[in-house]
Amino acid sequence: MSDKIMTNWQHFIKFCDAWKPWLSFPKCKIVRAEDIEDLKNNPHTVALYEPKDNTINILFEYRKNKAVYLHECGHWMNLIIYAALEIFWEFIWWGCSARNLFIHKNRIYKNEK
């Protein structure tokens, strides 16, 4: 751990930075079923949203199907809604320093001195 203790606001900003990879619109990759394990193992799956790299993988045969693309974008939108709620919740706790009302400062860092 760093020698410097972060302020509540700095901690909140660091938390928000962790969500940055998902705050941009997902990339779209046209793939073959053999390229992705989940598509290969389920013949009914024609597209897949991968949150780990913020990518929508669509089978080559369905590359022009807007409904499939919009459905996969829906998974990304759910992630964004969750992120917004999580950021709001942490803003109250860290950004507004609400945690200081409930946790005594000396008690938090007693093991780090």
Average pLDDT of the residues of the chain: 86
Q: Is 83 part of a structural domain of the chain?
A: yes
Number of independent structural domains in the chain: 1
- Whole-number pLDDT of residue 64: 95
Write out the residue range of the structural domain in which residue 102 sits.
8-108
Mean pLDDT, residues 7-12: 86
Q: Is 3 part of a structural domain of the chain?
A: no
Q: Is 65 part of a structural domain of the chain?
A: yes
Q: Is 20 part of a structural domain of the chain?
A: yes
Measured CA to CA in angstroms, residue 89 lies from 71, 83, 95 at distances of 27, 10, 9
- pLDDT above 60 for 113: no
Of 41, 39, 40, the closest CA to residue 68 belongs to 39
Exposure class string for 65-75: b at 16+ Cβ within 10 A, else e: eeebbeebbee
- pLDDT above 90 for 111: no
- Whole-number pLDDT of residue 11: 85
Q: Is 66 part of a structural domain of the chain?
A: yes
pLDDT digits (tens, 9 = 90+) for 59-107: 999 999 999 999 999 999 999 999 999 999 999 988 888 887 777 665 5
